[in-house]
Amino acid sequence: MIVIPASQRFEGKIRDLILDSTSSFRELTLYGKRIFLTDSVPENQAEMVGMEAILMENGLYSRKMKAERTTVEVGGVTVGGTGLVIAAGPCAVESEDQIMEIAESVRHLGADMLRGGAFKPRTTPYSFQGLGKEGVKLLRRASDATGLPVVSEIMDISDYPIFADDVDMLQVGSRNSQNFSMLKFLGKTAKPVLLKNGMGNTVSEWLNSAEYLLSGGNGNVVMCYRGTRGFEDGTRFTMDIGVMPVLRDKTHLPVCADPSHPAGNRAYVESMALAAVVSGVDMLEIEVHNDPAHALSDAKQQLTVEEFAVLSKNARKLRDSLQK
């Protein structure tokens, strides 16, 4: 049970009421609010309601918890504000020359953040697994050279010290979207998290993954939709554009779309990205490579620099027209 006092002057009284009940509880501060999380429904909840406290079984992510939309600061970039944020870069960091060239190119073409994988979750163990720790260091060098904050996927809690100083935003990928041990751990940090949906997750399951992060006290969460598995094989995954307005209705958290993975083919990425912009996303995450044909992972879906230039221009133009 979530108990949120109506104002600061009721916090002590709410705490005393919970102490008088048989419920165990813990406290946290989230978005400037003092929140009590209990292991059961307090018997004296009626008294709490009388103090205009909000009682919920679930939903720190919900608009009931926070009516105004949340913004997340990532290395000086605001996700969830008035502007469209675009994170761009390669699926995987392959070499210093590669990541430096791509970072300079996407920065010049209007990217706000640099994305890149150092640890790669691959379907087969014989595929390129990423450069690991060295890849993170290369991302940091590219960030320092361009001023672009870095978002990169973390696959294991034990790797957190590698990411802590050199990565501005941690991506929790589709395969770890319900890795509850990882989510609990990251919830205890203040590090911004880009949380992708699981390949077979419903919206409610995905939001409950976000709840693990929020219930640890980390409110710096951005939801990133990357499509789900379906029966259609014309694209790599099914991108349900309806998910984005549903998310915006159900949660105060910023919403991001990753059109590269559901497309699976660079020819479809821009159309999916623009559809996501129309649906109201705050952020796009786009895979871009300086030589996609020879990329070590996801070669078919990574845009050329020239293709990204067109997408970036059109996405911002579309966003601006929708806000008029």
Could you read off the pLDDT of 171-196 as tens digits, one per residue? Answer: 999 999 999 999 999 999 999 999 99
Residue 47 confidence (pLDDT): 85
Say what the pTM is.
0.96
Token duo for residue 230? 């379906």
- Torsion over CA of 226, 232, 236 and 240, rounded to 10 degrees? -20
Tell me the mean pLDDT in the region 235-249.
95
With tokens 């970039």, the residue in question is 77
Q: Which residue has the higher pLDDT, 287 or 8?
A: 287
Residue 41 confidence (pLDDT): 85
Q: How confident is the model at residue 57 (pLDDT cuts 50, 70, 90)?
A: confident
The total of other beta-carbon atoms located within 10 Å of residue 85's CB is 23
Angle of CA points 123, 277, 211, to nearest 5°: 60
Burial of 300 (0-12, 13-18, 19+ CB in 10 A): middle
Contact predicate 197/221, CB 8 Å:
no
pLDDT tens for residues 64-91?
Answer: 999 999 999 999 999 999 999 999 999 9
Tell me the mean pLDDT in the region 185-213.
97
User: What is the DSSP track for 258-319?
Assistant: --HHHH-SHHHHHHHHHHHHHTT-SEEEEEB-SSGGG-SS-GGGPBPHHHHHHHHHHHHHHH
10, pLDDT greater than 90: no
Distance CA 324, CA 313 (A): 17
